[in-house]
Amino acid sequence: MICTGCSCLCNDVVVNGTRIMNACIKGYRHIAGAKENRSEAKIENRTVSIDEAIEKAIEILKNSRNPIIFGLDTTTLEAQSLAIRLAEKLECYIDDNSSFCLGEIVEAIIKKDVPSTTLDDVRNKAYVVIYWGANPYTSLPRHMSKFTYYPRGEKRPRGYEEDRYLVVVDVRKSETAMLAKKNAKFLKVEKDDELVDSFLLAVDGKAGKFGSEVGVILKEMKKSDFNVLFAGLGLKYGISNMDRFFEMIKKINEKVAPLYLLPAGFHANMRGFNETLFEKTGFVNKYSFREKRSEKEFEFMELLKKECVDAALIVGTDPLKSLPFEIAKKFMKIKKIVIDPKTSLTSKVADVVIPSAISGVECGGKMVRSDGVRFKLEPLEEKEINDVLIFKKILEGV
Please report, as ranges, the residues that interact with ligand SF4 according to CB under 6 A: 3, 5-6, 8-10, 23-24, 26-27, 140-142
Looking at beta carbons only, is 186 or 210 nearer to other proteins?
Answer: 186
Rounded CA-CA distance 84/95 in Å is 10
Pick from 59, 110, 118, 159 the residue near other proteins by CB under 8 A: 159
Residue 205 binds which entry of other proteins, ligand SF4, none, with Cβ cut-offs from 5 to 8 Å by kind? none
Q: Which of 42, 123, 369, 393 binds other proteins (CB under 8 A)?
A: 123
Taking alpha carbons only, the member of 175, 169, 162 closest to residue 127 is: 162
Measured CA to CA, the distance from residue 61 to residue 206 in angstroms comes to 58
List phi, psi (to 5°) of 219.
Answer: -65, -40
Question: Torsion over CA of 84, 85, 91 and 92, rounded to 10 degrees?
Answer: -30
Site for other proteins contains 336 (CB under 8 A): no
Q: Which of 67, 71, 103, 153 binds other proteins (CB under 8 A)?
A: 153
Coil/strand/helix, residue 337: strand
Question: Is 188 in a helix, a strand, or coil?
Answer: strand
Say how many residues touch other proteins, by CB under 8 A.
Answer: 35
Q: Which is nearer to other proteins, 155 or 251 (CB)?
A: 155
- Residues paired with residue 297 on neighbouring β-strands, in sequence order: none
Q: State the binding partner of 6 from other proteins, ligand SF4, none, CB within 5 to 8 A by kind.
A: ligand SF4
267 binds, among ligand SF4, other proteins, none (CB under 5 to 8 A by kind): none
Our finding on whether 17 is near other proteins (CB under 8 A) is no
Binding test (CB under 8 A) with other proteins, winner from 26, 85, 280, 383: 26
For residues 101 and 236, the answer to whether their CB atoms sit within 8 Å is yes
**Residue 278 binding target from other proteins, ligand SF4, none, CB below 5 to 8 Å by type:** none
Neighbour tally for 46: CB within 10 Å: 9
Separation of alpha carbons 241 and 398, rounded Å: 42
Min CB(207)–ligand SF4 separation in Å: 38
Sign of CA dihedral 182, 175, 141, 224: negative
391 binds, among ligand SF4, other proteins, none (CB under 5 to 8 A by kind): none
Least gap, CB of 13 to ligand SF4 (angstroms): 6
Binding track over 167-206 against other proteins, x by CB under 8 A: --------xx-xx-x-------------------------
Q: Other C-beta atoms within 10 Å of 178: how many? A: 11
Virtual torsion, Cα 91, 284, 112, 200, nearest 10 deg: 130
Regarding 142 and contact with other proteins (CB under 8 A), the answer is: yes
In this chain, which of 66, 137, 345, 383 binds other proteins, going by CB under 8 A?
137
When the beta carbons of 11 and 66 are compared against other proteins, the nearer one is: 11
Nearest approach in angstroms of CB 141 to other proteins is: 4
Q: How far is the CB of 221 from other proteins (least distance, A)?
A: 23
Task: Calculate the CA 29 to chain-centre distance.
Answer: 19
24 binds other proteins (CB under 8 A): yes
Identity of the residue, 369 or 393, whose beta carbon is nearer to other proteins in the bound complex: 369
Provide CB contacts within 8 A for 17, sequence distance 6+.
none
| Least spacing, CB of residue 26 vs ligand SF4, in Å | 4
SS (H, E, C) 373-385: CEEECCCCCCCCC
Residue 137 binding target from ligand SF4, other proteins, none, CB below 5 to 8 Å by type: other proteins
Q: Report H helices in the chain.
A: 25-32, 50-63, 77-90, 103-110, 119-125, 136-139, 143-146, 159-162, 175-178, 192-203, 211-222, 233-238, 242-255, 270-281, 300-305, 325-333, 345-349, 387-397
Q: Could you tell me how many residues make up the chain?
A: 398
User: Taking CB within 5 to 8 Å according to partner kind, which of other proteins, ligand SF4, none is near residue 3?
Assistant: ligand SF4
The torsion of the CA quartet 295, 300, 304, 307, rounded to 10 degrees, works out to 40
Q: Does 146 bind other proteins (CB under 8 A)?
A: yes
Nearer to other proteins, 147 or 266 (CB): 147
Min separation Cβ 118 and other proteins, Å: 14
